[in-house]
Structure 1
Amino acid sequence: MEGSFELTLQIAIAVLAGISAQVVAEYLKVPSIIFLLLFGILLGPDGLSLLHPHHLGMGLEVIVALSVAIILFEGGLNLSWRDLGRVSGSLRNLVTIGTLITLIGGGMAAHWLAEFPWSIAFLYASLVVVTGPTVISPLLKHVEVDRRVATLLEGEGVLIDPVGAILAVVVLNTILNSNATPVEIFSGLLMRLGIGAAIGAASGWLLGLCLKRASFLSEDLKNLVVLAGVWSLFCLAQMSRSESGLMATVIAGMVVRASSLPEERLLRRFKGQLTVLCVSVLFILLAADLSIASIFALGWGSVLTVLALMFVVRPIAIAVCTINSGLNWRHKLFLAWVAPRGIVAASVASLFAILLTQQGINGGDAIKALVFLTIVITVFVGGLTARWVASWLKITSSEATGAVIVGCNPLSRLIARLFQESGESVVLIDTDPEACQKAAAENLPVFQSSALDPEVLEEAGVHSMGTFMALTSNGEVNLVLAQRAVEEFQPPRVLAVFPSNSQSGATNKAKVNQAFIEQLSIKTWNQYLNDGQVKLGTTILKEPGLELQQAHLQTLIRAGELLPLLVKRDRSLQVVKATEEWLCGDEIIYLLYDPRPQLLKRLSGETPSSRLALEKLPKVEEVPVVVTVSETALENIAEPVKS
């Protein structure tokens, strides 16, 4: 009874410590692995001695195996075939050529700098070819870099884990069976990858088919069916060929994702929660089982080995694997900087240390210590500085420019021309042939199609644009389009014109901002543009008198006489949000309603289709107003007035 309680207490402490580490990391906006490592070491025998993972015996290996299966399946489930297609060449190179470069470079560094025997040095290198998806994914949520870079890092982290684990098994088997020929070694690697991929693809397809056909199952039960299926296919692959289960779970996750299940969002949320729990418990247990003395015993040569892996081997791998990728030097530098190792490296290293000790081969504890040292340094250096490095390189998604605008009405075309004049890319999408022809006549890139088609959005370049805006005359449609864009592509800024009381799909409504002002009547302002009853202007908010100027702006907006369109802040042009807070130095581009009768305009020689003059805001006392916007933006926007 006491023994069972001891095991229960160990698991309870691990879960409590793991979730606590996740909470602290979430609050501080840093990778959770940092606190998982710290908490695990603190609770282990070298700390408070509250947690003793070796008491779990073989149970620890079982927990590691089943947890890694869930982690890799969830990673595959989060991979989008569409996103992978944009970086497929570079990703293929990283998983193949990059793995080989890391294996050779890491082995040489471990032998020459850490003074490991060649066999042990290459076993270490095979363990650290992997990058941790459980570290990278939370990191990218906080940093939010360019989508192509994020996809490449996530794809590498998920796909290289099984490849690296299988490679490590092959290297270990070579050490244990020194008579193996190169052909046997290579064929063993391909056999494990092939069997795992085949079982994963078949099982994933069958699992997706069952979930689609089994309409009688509740959503909660379907999640549990998937969990049972993942563990079953993992065990089946392991029985067929050792270590092929890792590849099977990744491929199964990708196939299930491609099945387009109606409950996919709920499934991904459930698997995400399971992954957080598994990662938390595993890292706490493995870190608690680590001997601090063994790390210090490695000496400075091991530190130099890790630094060589980070700052020599990784940059070389990125440079070689991203040739002709379309990525610029900023993207490549960030890819080279961020390569944290994670749970797969830690778990496999722990298992290998046990196996080597059982076989009477020295070096198992040293490998485990060096792998954990690699995890600690790569996570602390890459994880804690990633946000700063991304900002310095200007590759965060918030730095992205350009816009995809749905709707080719006069207001949409005007905003598109303003983006163009600022030197930013812009693309319009509409189903109306006549509206598309007008946009094309103004030299605006346009797609005549539905914005609900993800392939059209992809072709329009939404993945590299800073803004997605739905600006049709139907507010409910705008909201649906914006929510779909959030689900599929997650642009940095998503805006739409929709009623404030709209109840359509509340799931992603919080991520969609109302454009311009609340309760905007697009038809009214489009009519103003058609009739030539507007003037385009700009004003820069300055001290003194900032509050008076802001108040005057709001007064004109509430009166329906002024429509703020864009704000230029920190040299970045962005669409105005309904909740925008004006700051000193903001340059606001707006439309001002000019209700003069059409007859007076004609008598004065003006026509609605003529170039409209700029108009500055009526001056607030002692508040300077500067007019700088080019007049050409309104050319050809207004339609001829029918007599």
Structure 2
Amino acid sequence: MAIDAATTGALAPVMSFALVGALGVGAQWLAWRLRLPAIVLMLVAGLVIGPVTGLFDPGRDIGPLMGPLISIAVAIILFEGGMTLSVQSLRGAAEGVRRLVFVGAPLGWLLSALALHYVAGLGWASSAVFGGIMIVTGPTVIAPLLRQARLRRRPAQLLQWEAIVNDPIGALAAVLAFEVVLVLQAAESAGDAVLDITRGLVVASVLGVASGWAIAESFRRAWVPEFMKVPVLFTLLLGVFAVSDTVLHESGLLAVTVMGIWIANADLPSYTELRRFKEHATILLVSGVFILLAANMKFDALALLNWQAAAFVAVVILIVRPLTVLISLLGTKLPMRERLLVGLTGPRGVVLVAVAGLFAERLVAEGIEDAALLTPLAFALVAATVVLHGFSLRPMARAFGLAGAAIPGVIFVGGSRFAMAFAKALQDRDVPVLIADANRARLRSAREAGVPVFFGDILSEAAEHGVEIMSYGQVMAISDNDAYNTLVATDLAPEFGRENVFQLKRAKQDSKRHALPATLGGRITAGGLTYYELAAKMSDGWSVRSTDLTDEFTLEDWAAHNPEAILLASYDESAGLTLIEHEQAPKKLSGVRILALAPQKPDRTEAPQTER
């Protein structure tokens, strides 16, 4: 087999899978390092190894495995999307989000289908299916764009929650439209078509609800041990998909989506761990499917993208999306500038390409020839929206007066004199700060000083909806409860990155009896002081002061004049704010401003103009 592959220029299947995985994950990592949209790099990588160089041809190198692989991957992607649709969260969401879901989703489906039919020139069958999945605005794409643009809280939340909630709804709409098209193609009469559609919906819904209920009950009653929950979930997911497809062709996608929605609303104690694992699996699958579909593109398919395709992309960006949002938000109290910003921002992601690629193949097999355009149209729409919004969102937000602070801020978990002093020092340098505490009395001094506060648990659902997370890039867990600090750091690490989550040294950390595993908690800050050691220094009159380092006044000079001071952070105009870990020095030794905790009386020998 390996000899044949080598002589024909084809890659062995194992090498093909390794190449797809390496390119997908590598593109994600490189995009993170370069702060670029990952989807653009994945598109370039897939096209380079596929139609450009011919190094990898999925049809040739993987063969009959490609179809089932993409089907299963899309099923898992849609199941994970269903697991994000919490009815309780939707009920508590802002009015604007509900409007974008209940009014915007069907309206966007209709307008997208009209654009596909009248502008792109597709038939009604292909337009209905692709128009459904076009509802999705790319939750995997919108989050990095929002972090880069740093919008104000309300428009950022509107865009983020719309993407999360409409993700499964758009997939569900496409699946339903696809089922209708299949039935209409096969049915001999209108009565048969209605009967088949009803039967498909009932079978898929019953299987999805029954499997979701079975998972929820077995997990809740501890019939499945903790270490087997994810394997059992995956096995049942694949089983439901296969059984539903066997009973009624192509109904498996609907069944697994319903199954995910049921589990999302079952209030399972282990739901967070399950969803996090599913998100990790989905990233791998999304990357792999995108690389496969891009590499499988042919130049003759790309040649189908004519002036009608360009006109379609322009109509979607400039007419369909803004019109959908403006009509959906009629009668709300949202300012017009926020409506316009949301209406002009609608990036599509890899889910659109994955689902469109799968349905395109199925529709072509059913004799709908114009469905061959769906995949290249999906690539064109994704590339255009991601690149356009990636470069335009921040300037557009500034023009509308909706841009947040340019510097990622810090969330302080735990109100104290130290937290207030540090937060105030950062706020004076235009760094966004927030002090969160469940004890209102501990927030009194911060409120009086004009420092933003959040009264409540930073891990609560109220914080998820009420805190402008996009404005912050780092977290300091500095409450008087060491266990809670560890919990906060561990829980928020996946959201902010472990390198951006800090906590105070635990009081009994040096004792083997009380030492926690290295996998828990965050990086140690505040010079390795415990909460009570830090409180004692604040009581003795210590304060947070800033000093500018120059080529003439270096870090070594500062340290010589301030032997007792404790480095907290460094600020650079280009790199922004960096919290300093215990026993760590700033990466840049000159041209930065450092913040440190120091005794009340400064050293008289230090140049007075450098310290503030």
Q: TM-score range by the shorter chain?
A: 0.7 to 0.9
Q: How many angstroms apart in 1 are the aligned matches of 2:461 and 2:134?
A: 37
Q: How many angstroms apart in 1 are the aligned matches of 2:302 and 2:471?
A: 46
Could you tell me which residue of structure 2 aligns to residue 523 of structure 1?
Answer: 532
Q: Give 1:308 shift.
A: 1.9
Q: How many angstroms apart in 1 are the aligned matches of 2:293 and 2:447?
A: 61
Q: Give 1:412 shift.
A: 2.9
Structure 1 residues 84-93 or 395-404, which shifts more? 395-404
Q: Is the 8 A contact 1:412 1:471 kept in 2?
A: yes
Q: How many angstroms apart in 2 are the aligned matches of 1:34 and 1:566?
A: 34
Could you tell me which residue of structure 1 aligns to residue 168 of structure 2?
Answer: 158
3-state SS of paired residue (1:495)? strand
Q: How does 1:256-335 map to 2 (within 5 A)?
A: 256-257=263-264, 267-268=274-275, 271-272=278-279, 274-276=281-283, 278-279=285-286, 282-283=289-290, 286-287=293-294, 290-321=297-328, 324=332, 329=338, 332-333=341-342
2:234 paired with 1:227: yes
Could you tell me which residue of structure 2 aligns to residue 638 of structure 1?
Answer: none
Q: Give 1:205 shift.
A: 3.1
With the length of structure 1 as denominator, give the TM-score of the two structures.
0.71
2:580 paired with 1:577: yes
Q: 1:439 to 1:125 in 2, by over 3 A?
A: closer
Q: 1:439 to 1:129 in 2, by over 3 A?
A: closer
Q: How does 1:178-577 map to 2 (within 5 A)?
A: 180=190, 196=204, 199-214=207-222, 217=225, 219=227, 221-235=228-242, 237-238=244-245, 244-257=251-264, 267-268=274-275, 271-272=278-279, 274-276=281-283, 278-279=285-286, 282-283=289-290, 286-287=293-294, 290-321=297-328, 324=332, 329=338, 332-333=341-342, 336-340=345-349, 341-356=352-367, 364=369, 366-369=370-373, 371-384=374-387, 387-389=390-392, 392=395, 393=397, 399=406, 404-418=411-425, 426-431=434-439, 435=442, 451=457, 454-455=460-461, 457-458=463-464, 461=467, 463=469, 466=472, 468-486=475-493, 494-499=501-506, 503-507=515-519, 509=521, 512-515=522-525, 517-530=526-539, 533-534=541-542, 536=543, 538-541=545-548, 543-547=550-554, 550-555=555-560, 558-559=563-564, 562-563=565-566, 569-570=572-573, 576-577=579-580
3-state SS of paired residue (1:507)? coil
Amino acid at match of 1:381: A
Q: 1:62 to 1:564 in 2, by over 3 A?
A: closer
Q: 1:382 to 1:437 in 2, by over 3 A?
A: closer
Q: 1:99 to 1:551 in 2, by over 3 A?
A: same
How far does the alpha carbon of each residue in 1:352-392 deviate from its partner, in whole angstroms, 9 at most, with x for none?
A: 11112xxxx5xx1x3322x2222222333344565544554
The number of aligned residues is 581
Q: Give 1:346 shift.
A: 1.2
Q: Is the 8 A contact 2:305 2:377 kept in 1?
A: no
Could you tell me which residue of structure 1 aligns to residue 74 of structure 2?
Answer: 68
Could you tell me which residue of structure 2 aligns to residue 98 of structure 1?
Answer: 104
Q: 1:216 to 1:174 in 2, by over 3 A?
A: closer
Q: How does 1:90-169 map to 2 (within 5 A)?
A: 90-116=96-122, 121-122=127-128, 124-126=130-132, 128-131=134-137, 136=141, 148=157, 149-169=159-179
Q: Give the % identical residues.
A: 20
How far does the alpha carbon of each residue in 1:380-422 deviate from its partner, in whole angstroms, 9 at most, with x for none?
A: 3344565544554479999476655333333234345556767
Q: How many angstroms apart in 1 are the aligned matches of 2:322 and 2:416?
A: 48
Amino acid at match of 2:23: A
Q: Give 1:342 shift.
A: 1.9
Q: How many angstroms apart in 2 are the aligned matches of 1:546 and 1:287?
A: 54
Q: How many angstroms apart in 1 are the aligned matches of 2:449 and 2:387?
A: 47
Structure 1 residues 489-498 or 522-531, which shifts more? 489-498
Q: 1:426 to 1:476 in 2, by over 3 A?
A: same
Q: How many angstroms apart in 2 are the aligned matches of 1:230 and 1:520?
A: 48
Q: Is the 8 A contact 2:208 2:256 kept in 1?
A: yes
Q: Give 1:68 shift.
A: 1.8
How far does the alpha carbon of each residue in 1:536-564 deviate from its partner, in whole angstroms, 9 at most, with x for none?
A: 574441534132xx2243346542xx355
Q: Give 1:230 shift.
A: 0.8
Q: Give 1:436 shift.
A: 5.9
Q: Give 1:72 shift.
A: 1.5
Q: 1:26 aligns with which of 8, 11, 28?
A: 28
Q: Give 1:178 shift.
A: 10
Q: Is the 8 A contact 1:22 1:32 kept in 2?
A: no
Q: Give 1:348 shift.
A: 0.7
3-state SS of paired residue (2:437)? strand
Q: 1:329 to 1:189 in 2, by over 3 A?
A: farther
Q: How many angstroms apart in 2 are the aligned matches of 1:297 and 1:465?
A: 42
Q: 1:553 to 1:544 in 2, by over 3 A?
A: closer
Q: Give 1:207 shift.
A: 0.6
Q: Is the 8 A contact 1:17 1:39 kept in 2?
A: no
With the length of structure 2 as denominator, give the TM-score of the two structures.
0.74
Q: Which runs of 5 or more residues in structure 1 are unaligned?
A: 595-614, 628-643
Q: Give 1:508 shift.
A: 5.4
Q: Is the 8 A contact 2:240 2:252 kept in 1?
A: yes
Q: Give 1:169 shift.
A: 3.4
Q: 1:583 to 1:197 in 2, by over 3 A?
A: farther
Amino acid at match of 2:519: T
3-state SS of paired residue (1:408)? coil
